Amino acid sequence: METELALPQSPSSLGRRLALIKVRDRGVGPEQVRLIATDPEIFEAFYREHLDAIQGFVARRVGDRERAADLTAEIFMAAIGGAHRYRSRCGSPKAWLYGIAQNVVAIERRRVGRERDREERLRGSALLDESDAAAIDARLDAAAEQRRLYQAMEQLTETERAVIELVAIDELSLAEAAAAAGVRPVTARVRLHRARRKLRAELEPAPTKPTVNKGE
């Protein structure tokens, strides 16, 4: 179930009203991020502004609908908890939020990986005993390309994978991806170049050597 996002009420003030006017007009900027932890209306604006993007980020990485909803809520809860630590040097509010999302999903990936390893050890023998070999082959063939991509992604370092996903899948700018991944833009550019080169090497078929006719 989707987690409820509850915030303490903050007292009304001229400063709060001015902040709300700015937020409604321009969105939640760096100077208002800290207020999402104490002001429900500013948090609601922040939530609505970024909800679609964060849901898409999670959905592209998590296949289960309910778990994706829970993780989306966890990301915004983590943003509430970390709002007091936000600084503009962390990047734009969007990049900062993507950095939180990156951490939350990374933790989920590790958890799922551990569970998958346990499940594979338990059911491996049953899979080998499956009598309908043709059906197994069909499923394996259908998933071959996706499996090749995931296997290729496993060859990347954690930062390389994070940067290429943020740029190629989530369509962040290089600067935003760098801020979300917690690295400098020049480092992100290098990691992106390395990741693309590694993926091409893994996914492109090896060139075939020309056949030499010994009789010529």
Per-residue pLDDT tens digits of the chain, which is 216 residues long? 444 454 444 445 666 667 676 667 677 788 888 888 988 888 888 998 899 899 988 888 887 788 888 999 999 999 999 999 998 887 899 999 999 999 998 888 888 767 665 555 544 444 444 444 455 455 556 556 656 676 777 788 888 888 888 888 788 998 998 998 888 999 999 999 998 888 888 777 655 555 555 554
The answer to whether residue 216 sits within a structural domain is no
CATH number where 78 lies: 1.10.1740.10
Residues 86 and 140 placed together within one structural domain of the fold = no
Query: Domain end: 83, 117, 151, which one?
Result: 117
Q: Of 9, 4, 73, nearest to 39 (Cα)?
A: 9
Give yes or no for a contact between 92 and 176, defined as CB atoms under 8 angstroms apart: yes
Task: Tell me, yes or no, whether 59 lies in a domain.
Answer: yes
Query: What's the pLDDT at 124?
Result: 45
My answer on whether 6 and 78 are in the same domain is yes
The rounded distance, in Å, linking the Cα atoms of 176 and 79 is 17
Instruction: Determine, yes or no, domain membership for 125.
Output: no
Q: What pLDDT is stored for residue 146 in this prediction? A: 59
For residues 74 and 84, what is the distance between their CA atoms, to the nearest angstrom?
17
211 within a domain of the structure (yes/no): no
155 in a domain, yes or no? yes
What domain range is 151 assigned to? 133-204
- Whole-structure pTM value: 0.63
* The one-letter amino acid at 18: L
Tell me how many domains the chain contains.
Answer: 2
Which domain-ending residue is among 59, 91, 117? Answer: 117
- Asked, for residue 25, whether it belongs to a domain, the answer is yes
Q: Same domain, yes or no, for 14 and 64?
A: yes
| pLDDT confidence of residue 40 | 87
